[in-house]
Structure 1
Amino acid sequence: MSSISDTGPWPPCPQDFNLTAHVLAASDRAPDKIALAVVKPTGAQRWSYDRLRSAILGSATGLLQSGLVPGDRLLMRVGNSVEFPVAYLAAIAVGIVPIPTSSQLTEPEVQVLVDMTDPTAILHDGQTACPASVLVIRTDQMSEWYGLSPAPYAFGDPNRLAYIIFTSGTSGKPRAVCHAHRAIWARGMMMDGWYGLTRSDRLMHAGAFNWTYTLGTGLLDPWTKGATALIPAQGVEHAQIPLLLKRHEATIFAAAPGVYRNILKSGSLDLPKLRHGLSAGEKLPASIRDTWHAATGTRVHEAFGMSECSTFISAAPGSPDLPPESLGWPQQGRRIAIMGDQGPVPIGTPGIIAVHRDDPGLMLGYLNQPEETAARYQGDWFLTGDMGEMTENKDILYHGRADDMMNAGGFRVSPLEVEAALLAHPDIHEVGVTDIDIKADTRVIAAYYVSDRPLDPTALESFATERLARYKQPRLYTRVASLPRNANNKLLRRALPDHPPL
């Protein structure tokens, strides 16, 4: 049997469609309900659905009055503030194409993105690094825009360009990923297939406003459903999040694995309203999942996706227990395959995880890169670049990035398997592994770990010997202050050898 999962078609997106209008439809049903609370230990800033809609559509008018027109591109240099999602949705409402960027980028890095996308203007908060090569619109004007007359939505073909985001891809170079308005419609597949989200939920996301994981899972999806989004204010530490979860009666919590790890260090967790957690961004270690369940009595449901298609494989409330290496199942409406050189591989055979080209959440393509876009397809399948394996139960076992796979004495080894084994060590907080050259034609596995104190290499070797086959065991151990990660907090394994040791 071939490794193909077809869960049936998702209802088609309406032909006259606008992403922002779809997100804000709940504001008509419950205008006085709290859509957003920005929370901190000393209080909260609350936005009703009516206030949120007024701010977004008033800002849309402000953008038009600033000289922008539908089809223009607006590069966003906005930090962790409410202005980020407001401006993002305001632009899309009137057909302006927002281009979110990480606030951590330096000015030369931003200039590269400017050269790639040729924006008409840059929306700037006055704090993030920003070149002055094009028209700059300041976010400090936005509070005045909130009171302007609401702009009408620009409806149209759901396949037209809505926004552009960046991904480093497998090459390490940024790529501009173009998404259509229909991308928000496709996110409906996550509502039951990952979140278990209802209108009565209060979903807290631990990330910053300007992180795409927060933007989608933490804001747009709860607003689409008519739920309440809770976002920790800038400066809130991970150790303070349990207090905020309890005080604001969060029912769902979303974060990257590292946040769960840090919260678990903060002590006992009393979260009576929490139903479950969500994890994405990188593989969730089994040790964190199990420790969280023991501490809170709630499960963490994991999802797998990418910038080009958001998340499309996941576990969900009510789904059976899965082995640690499993990502979950293709969501209802998805068509997923595990691909080899000749097409879908047999069940139980590793290959590249692929998404069918008709998936409504799949990108339009890479901006101005038709050859690079075409190269990601094998027939009707978009190749993710991640290795996986489909079981008889149709869940997907994860084997890591194809370019992260290691070669140890002729054996192909997944770094995730080695990392999971080492994370069981009580003194290792984080670990990343990769293979390195030690001499001509000789590569060995090297482990880079974060701990409070240096650990004896001989003891680490003994620990690994008990848990890993000889060819999977690291030959070198290096203590580091932190692991190298990209702007989306994903581990950069190929950068580990150049990371400074302690």
Structure 2
Amino acid sequence: MSLFWWDIEREIEVSYGELVQRISNREKRHSVLQTSEPDELFTEILIALLTESEFTLLDSEFSSETLSELGFDARDLEQTEPVPKIEIEDPSDLPKKIRTADDEWTLGIYTSGTTGTPTRVEQTLGTLTQSVRTDERFDDNVWAFAYNPTHIAGLQVFFQAVSNLNPMIYIFEHSVDQIEEVISEYEVTHISATPTFYRLRLQRLGGTYPSVKRLTSGGEMFEPQLKESLKERFPNAKFRNVYALTEAGSLLESNGELFEIPDEKEDQFKITEDNELAVYESLLAESAAEEFDGEWYHTGDEVEFVEGDEFRFAGRQSDFINVGGYRVNPHDVERRISSIDGVQAAIVRARESSVTGHILTAEVQPVPDADGEVVETAVEEQIGDLERWKQPRIIDIVDEIEKTRSGKRVR
């Protein structure tokens, strides 16, 4: 019987046959769910979808204080309601039922947004599955699941996999050794993750993995040297870089760091005078976002044109740092530091200064077994020819750079 979900850490293995039994036999469902078990989360999503019921997902890391701010309490999380009988005779019926479900069915999820305060977004099935491809040629795909399952990127991987009855192997919270084991054992073919996850986990894998056919990256700034490094471990993999918003799903894609707006989408995007990407309102889900200017949603993402109509994402406008009147893009400095042999990852932040307003600081995570003092000296040499306002004044060598629940570096 084909595998649906495998979590090596929790020793949870679920087949598609068992998933269908769960759905068919479930007598009660939650309308609001907070759980640390992704397989149960996905089961409840399918039950809500197939019964056309309202459903809200809450990140398992949300504290009781955050939940209270969002208007939820313990009673909301405990409350259940009866489930109408769902008839699924065979796992092969599941993709058919998803394809014929109401595209306007909505799922409530939360994004932290630019303020860090969780913002509710109502995603329709149509938006969640707009990038899903179904065909016999996808039958043998095996997905390594490397996202927070309550976030849109994770949900898109889930719908792609379940629509083709593909196995999902959970690696999001797992060690490098565990990831090496499951990629080889299950002959994983597809991996989708943030650049930070690739850098801190997959870049550290030993050996090569010829079974992997596709690597997809999204959610953060992409560094070209990361692609070259991953080619050594995944020699047969094609690479895809995706630009997506929680409020809209996947919007643009490329095979590297450079993007171009397709001719058929020209009326759905615009670049503002201050180089911010704006998206037409029809592409967005219903949310409490307030970054609208008439019919345009301001993403907060700044771009820079490279050649012709090609552009790269320079970073979030809120990431830029004013140092003595100079506007510094920390991602540029991070790329410079990350290109050093012996550096696993780096992050540049601002610290208040009574003289310049801010100075730059850098946290640098060396590769395993690297000498921290040697790495620090190499960093100092690498940034030495930068303009003085772009040079981090404090360099901290750390064992691991702090990440958010979604796998991104904490700024």
Report the TM-score range of the alignment, normalised by the length of the smaller protein.
0.7 to 0.9
Q: Which amino acid aligns with 2:271?
A: M
Q: In the alignment, which residue of structure 2 is the partner of 1:240?
A: 178
Q: Which amino acid aligns with 1:150?
A: E
Give the Å deviation of 1:249.
Answer: 2.1
Inter-partner Cα distance in structure 2 for 1:157 and 1:273: 36
Does 2:210 correspond to 1:272?
A: yes
- CA deviations over 1:319-362 (Å, ceiling 9, x no partner): xxx4xxx253457964553432xxxx4xxxx6111222222xx2
Q: Which amino acid aligns with 1:462?
A: E
Q: In the alignment, which residue of structure 1 is the partner of 2:226?
A: 288
Aligned residues: 394
Inter-partner Cα distance in structure 2 for 1:97 and 1:427: 49
Identity %: 18
Q: Which amino acid aligns with 2:240?
A: H
TM superposition score normalised by structure 1: 0.68
What does residue range 26-425 of structure 1 map to in structure 2 within 5 Å? 34=2, 36-38=4-6, 40=8, 45-48=13-16, 51-59=18-26, 62-63=28-29, 74-113=31-70, 115=71, 131-134=73-76, 136-137=78-79, 149-150=86-87, 158-159=103-104, 162-188=106-132, 191=133, 198-207=138-147, 209-217=149-157, 219-224=158-163, 226-232=164-170, 236-261=174-199, 262-269=201-208, 271-297=209-235, 298-316=237-255, 322=256, 326-330=257-261, 334-335=265-266, 336-340=268-272, 345=273, 351-359=275-283, 362-366=284-288, 373=289, 375-392=290-307, 394-425=309-340
Q: Which of 365, 390, 402 is residue 472 of structure 1 equivalent to? A: 390
Give the Å deviation of 1:289.
Answer: 1.8
Inter-partner Cα distance in structure 1 for 2:191 and 2:210: 13
TM superposition score normalised by structure 2: 0.82
Contact 2:113 2:119 in 1 (8 A): yes
Any gaps of 5 or more consecutive residues in structure 1? 1-31, 69-73, 119-130, 317-321, 367-372, 494-502
- CA deviations over 1:269-308 (Å, ceiling 9, x no partner): 2x22221211223223333321111233134322121211
Residues 199 and 445 of structure 1: CA distance in aligned 2, closer, same or farther (over 3 Å): same
Q: Which of 381, 386, 395 is residue 462 of structure 1 equivalent to? A: 381
Q: Which of 395, 404, 407 is residue 486 of structure 1 equivalent to? A: 404
Residues 135 and 260 of structure 1: CA distance in aligned 2, closer, same or farther (over 3 Å): closer
What does residue range 447-458 of structure 1 map to in structure 2 within 5 Å? 447-451=362-366, 454-455=372-373
Inter-partner Cα distance in structure 1 for 2:325 and 2:51: 55
Any gaps of 5 or more consecutive residues in structure 2? 89-93
Contact 1:285 1:420 in 2 (8 A): yes
Contact 1:289 1:299 in 2 (8 A): no
Inter-partner Cα distance in structure 2 for 1:303 and 1:311: 7
Give the Å deviation of 1:405.
Answer: 1.0
Q: What SS is found at the alignment partner of 1:134?
A: helix
Instruction: Compute the RMSD of aligned alpha carbons.
Output: 3.6
Give the Å deviation of 1:84.
Answer: 0.8
Q: What SS is found at the alignment partner of 1:444?
A: strand
Q: Which amino acid aligns with 1:240?
A: Q
- Say which is worse superposed, 74-83 or 239-248, in terms of deviation: 239-248
Give the Å deviation of 1:382.
Answer: 1.4
Inter-partner Cα distance in structure 1 for 2:102 and 2:125: 8
Q: What SS is found at the alignment partner of 1:429?
A: strand
Greater RCO between the two (CA within 8 Å, min separation 6)?
Answer: 1
Inter-partner Cα distance in structure 2 for 1:331 and 1:245: 35
